[in-house]
């Protein structure tokens, strides 16, 4: 039996001692009641686990701080990585309350309500009714400080890649930003495998790795999101059009097996609001679901 439970049992055995105890709680200056209150509050705090695309790290962390300030009964635990990695972790049974992907594909692959044909394994891991498109981003061609190679556009990049005169970083094939880059290469009729074999392309396991390669000038350029370029202070020479790679939309949803479904619903509702939207807009996202 705990010390607290023992004290309560003892007090419960004597009315006189109960009265004395209540009087002491009124202000003996010991700090014990405050400690009990703090312990009770901590015990009542529940964790919301959020799996989110790496490109959201700065803005979602800031929005999360605003959420927990307004909702002290919750604390947030973030897992930021490539959407493909996060999708696999959810599929393998990782605890996750909210999933925000940088592309529809990874969300579709987990959603039994998917009508695109992406859910080839028939998975039912997303609460389809909670799903909505939260943000739009842009795919950007970014260069290191000073732009040593003098790259000015995707058109020019395509010519340099074909000639083997540039070293470009892009995301892996299972990373949304890599998939958008593949679409851009296809738009220009470029063979990714041939370019990689020729040594003109290097890869990153998520958009942050690609961004770091550009920031450190280990490559001549990289295809990343405009939000990551903004966060790292990189120069963007051009933004890809929807004709090049499609629209870059981030879906959000609670998971079917969310350990904290009430918390997931509360967070998703907050992320639709103006406070969270302001955090996303600061780094270049376009909010799509402001309440």
Please give the order of strands across the beta sheet that includes 201-204: 201-204, 168-171, 221-225, 139-143, 235-239
Cross-strand pairs, 80: 52
Q: Please tell me what DSSP assigns to residue 286.
A: E
Average pLDDT over residues 41-46: 70
Contacts of 213 (CB under 8 A, 6+ apart): 169, 202, 204, 219, 222
d(CA 52, CA 30): 44
Lowest mean pLDDT segment, chosen from 11-20, 83-92, 103-112: 11-20
- Rounded-to-integer distance, Cα 272 and Cα 29, Å: 45
- pLDDT beyond 60 at 25: no
Q: What average pLDDT does the segment 207-236 reach?
A: 96
Per-residue DSSP letter, 126: B
Q: Per residue in 260-286, pLDDT tens?
A: 999 999 999 999 999 999 999 999 999
pLDDT band for 215, please (50, 70, 90 cuts): very high
**pLDDT band, very low/low/confident/very high, at 43 (cuts 50, 70, 90):** low
């Amino acid at each position: 039996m705990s010390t607290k439970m023992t004290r309560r049992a003892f007090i419960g055995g004597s009315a006189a001692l109960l009265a004395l105890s209540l009087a002491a709680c009124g202000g003996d200056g010991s700090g014990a009641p405050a400690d009990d209150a703090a312990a009770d509050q901590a015990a009542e705090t529940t964790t919301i686990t959020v799996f989110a695309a790496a490109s959201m790290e700065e803005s979602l962390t800031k929005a999360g701080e605003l959420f927990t300030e307004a909702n002290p009964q919750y604390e947030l635990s973030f897992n930021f990585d490539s959407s493909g990695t996060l999708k696999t972790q959810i599929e393998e049974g990782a605890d996750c309350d909210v999933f925000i992907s940088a592309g529809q594909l990874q969300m579709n692959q987990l959603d039994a309500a998917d009508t695109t044909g992406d859910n080839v394994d028939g998975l039912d891991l997303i609460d389809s009714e909670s799903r909505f498109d939260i943000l739009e981003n842009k795919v950007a061609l970014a260069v290191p400080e000073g732009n040593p190679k003098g790259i000015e556009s995707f058109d020019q990049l395509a010519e340099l890649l074909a000639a083997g005169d540039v070293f470009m970083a892009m995301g892996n094939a299972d990373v949304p930003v890599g998939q958008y880059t593949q679409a851009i290469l296809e738009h220009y009729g470029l063979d990714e495998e041939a370019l990689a074999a020729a040594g003109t392309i290097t890869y990153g396991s998520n958009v942050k790795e690609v961004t770091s390669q550009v920031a450190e000038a280990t490559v001549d350029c990289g295809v990343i999101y405009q939000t990551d370029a903004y966060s790292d202070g990189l120069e963007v020479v051009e933004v890809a059009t929807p004709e090049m790679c499609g629209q870059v939309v981030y879906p959000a949803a609670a998971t079917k097996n969310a350990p904290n479904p009430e918390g997931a619903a509360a967070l998703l509702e907050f992320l639709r609001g103006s406070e969270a939207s302001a955090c996303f807009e600061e780094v270049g996202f376009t909010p799509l679901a402001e309440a």
